[in-house]
Amino acid sequence: MKRTIILIWVGLFAVLPGNRATYGADTPPTPVPVQELGTKYQLIGQVGEPLGSVVTVRGVIGTGRSKADQSKPQLRVRSINGRTTQQDIMLPIYAYFGEFGEDGLPALELGQYYEFEAYESGGYIGVPSEVFERGSAVIQTTDHFFCTHLVGCRGSAIAPIVDAPSDFIDREALIQGIAKNLDGRPCIVGGGWILRIDADAPWSDSDVGKQAEAYGTIRHTDDATTYFSENSAARLSQLEDQIGRHVTLRGTVWNGSNHLRFEYRGTYVELEASPAQTDWDNIRRLHGEPVEASGVLDDATPPAMRQTTGPTGEPVKPYYILRQSSWKRIDELLFQERPDR
């Protein structure tokens, strides 16, 4: 019998705990009869394979934002069946039998990378709000929604995965390294490789030697260790290296008590609205959503605090403001853009 595959990648990602969103508020969902799952329809999980398919995944153990997420191990997936990915895929992972540390499964440590033979499964959790509206006892729970998780069958600890251009030939990727100019052309240099950037102007003298990144389609060149980032957008990656510049940053918006905070790779940046930005109320409704924000980056840390330390000896974090900023919602962030997880 011919099977119709329903891709629900985006839908599943949107409703995972801590990152649920309303999909197409004005568009009714497509009905799928449960008795036809596995015959006429297949559910495709976040790893891009039908639920129940055994895959080889590599990733790092992280934590989610919600208390529910943090109560169980979460695998941030970096590779699926040998193919490196930069998508921000984070799934709870459970032991197939017994506990982690037993029966061929490693004990899990936060920040450690692992390889697993695993399959993705899922189901509905929580309680429909209508249950409470009809007078049933109110209990502490979540909304009724579908989510998925991984079941690890076998696994082992592995070395950290570091992205290189060779992992993404003919694919779009964000490649990070050190800014350099070679033969008058801008490049990013990493461990044993060179990435030439699709740009005419070289890095400025002040940029050379700093951490940088480029997003574009990775191509081979005649040199086995040199690659080309086609249609690439290149920039410095550290906030302290971009003070006073007009920048475009990708991150997450969080509503504060009287201001908006934009989280850029674990650092908070306050958003100062430009006169042309008229959807201030709309962005408040984007709490926890991925956003691209543009403006002039300013270090507003009081001068007296810039060389001081906190109560336990750590440096005081800088206070950044994105002046005259504008923003727009984007579909998702990449793995490198979510170090907080």
pLDDT tens for 124-166 read: 999 998 898 898 888 888 889 899 999 999 999 999 999 999 9
Both 276 and 314 in one domain: the answer is yes
pLDDT for residue 264 is more than 60: yes
Quick one: pLDDT at residue 63?
Answer: 84
Which pair of tokens denotes residue 128?
């429909």
Quick one: pLDDT at residue 340?
Answer: 64
Both 11 and 143 in one domain: the answer is yes
pLDDT for residue 302 is more than 80: no
Both 11 and 125 in one domain: the answer is yes
Both 26 and 152 in one domain: the answer is yes
Both 30 and 154 in one domain: the answer is yes
Quick one: pLDDT at residue 281?
Answer: 65
pLDDT digits (tens, 9 = 90+) for 304-322: 545 555 555 555 577 899 9
Both 82 and 10 in one domain: the answer is yes
Cα(285)–Cα(327) distance, rounded to whole angstroms? 13
Both 137 and 277 in one domain: the answer is no
Cα(4)–Cα(7) distance, rounded to whole angstroms? 10
**Residues 184-204: what's their mean pLDDT?**
95
Cα(334)–Cα(268) distance, rounded to whole angstroms? 18
Q: Which domain holds residue 127?
A: 4-158
Dihedral sign (CA 217, 222, 227, 232): negative
Mean pLDDT of the chain: 85
Q: State which of 124, 158, 192 marks the end of a domain.
A: 158
Both 141 and 21 in one domain: the answer is yes
What's the predicted TM-score (pTM) here? 0.81
Q: State which of 237, 271, 289 marks the end of a domain.
A: 237
Both 193 and 315 in one domain: the answer is no
Both 179 and 228 in one domain: the answer is yes
State how many domains the chain has: 3
- 59, β-bridge pairs: 77, 114
**Residue 13 pLDDT grade (very low, low, confident, very high; cuts 50, 70, 90):** very low
Residue 232: which H helix or E strand, with range? Answer: strand 226-236
